[in-house]
């Protein structure tokens, strides 16, 4: 499986995007996903190699995945290029997409939820159930919503 180039000071989008994911997570949950003393570059590297799932999507009419750490890429059996060119709805099978849509609307209204469980499907057809996922709104530095993100470490 092809890996995405490692986060670095040269990849400003990735470093800035991960910074917004972490900042928004703390803003909505009051918790830190990573050690808050890490600088932006180290935080991006740590997030990419973290032992938990971390992914986000934008606000398009059909939201596209725009970030996935190595854990997410491995779990969904995709390369960075495949992952970031996939509408996020395709992470759930057709019968589970209505449930997923209700979840995202709830997050939009409340800012975050931290008890989501649901079935997902990888690119190679493997189904898995995620447990205790936290899903939150991602905002830019001005507080404008730019997407949503999710993290979890329990699945079977």
Q: Where are the domains of the chain?
A: 12-155
pLDDT in tens, 143-153: 999 999 999 99
Q: How many CB atoms lie within 10 A of CB 114?
A: 14
What does the pLDDT average to over 53-64?
96
pLDDT at 4 over 50: no
Band (pLDDT 50/70/90 cuts) for residue 12 is confident
Q: What is the CB neighbour count within 10 angstroms for residue 140?
A: 13
Instruction: Dump pLDDT digits (tens) for 88-126.
Output: 999 987 766 777 777 778 888 899 999 888 899 999 999
How does 17-43 read in b/e, with b if 16+ C-beta sit within 10 Å? bbbbbbbbbebbbeeebbeeeeeebeb
Q: Are 21 and 138 in contact (CB under 8 A)?
A: yes
Looking at domain 12-155, which CATH architecture does it have? Answer: 2-Layer Sandwich (3.30)
What are the helix (H) ranges across 30-128?
40-48, 70-75, 80-83, 97-110
Q: What is the pLDDT of residue 7?
A: 57
Question: What backbone phi and psi angles, to 5 degrees, belong to 95?
Answer: -65, -20
For residue 36, give the DSSP letter.
T
Q: What's the predicted TM-score (pTM) here?
A: 0.90
Q: Mean per-residue pLDDT for 64-84?
A: 96
């Amino acid at each position: 499986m092809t890996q995405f180039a490692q986060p670095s000071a040269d990849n400003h989008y990735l470093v800035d995007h991960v910074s917004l994911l972490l900042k928004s997570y703390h803003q909505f949950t009051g918790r830190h996903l990573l050690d808050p003393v890490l600088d932006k570059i180290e935080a991006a590297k740590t997030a990419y190699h973290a032992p938990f799932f971390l992914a986000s999507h934008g606000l398009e009419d059909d939201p596209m995945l725009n970030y996935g750490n190595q854990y997410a890429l491995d779990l969904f059996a995709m390369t960075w290029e495949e992952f970031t060119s996939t509408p996020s709805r395709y992470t759930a099978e057709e019968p589970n997409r209505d449930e997923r849509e209700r979840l995202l609307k709830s997050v939009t209204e409340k800012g975050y939820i931290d008890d989501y469980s649901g079935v997902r499907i990888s690119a190679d057809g493997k189904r898995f159930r995620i447990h205790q996922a936290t899903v939150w709104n991602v905002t830019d530095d001005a507080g404008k919503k730019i997407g949503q993100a999710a993290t979890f470490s329990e699945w079977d």
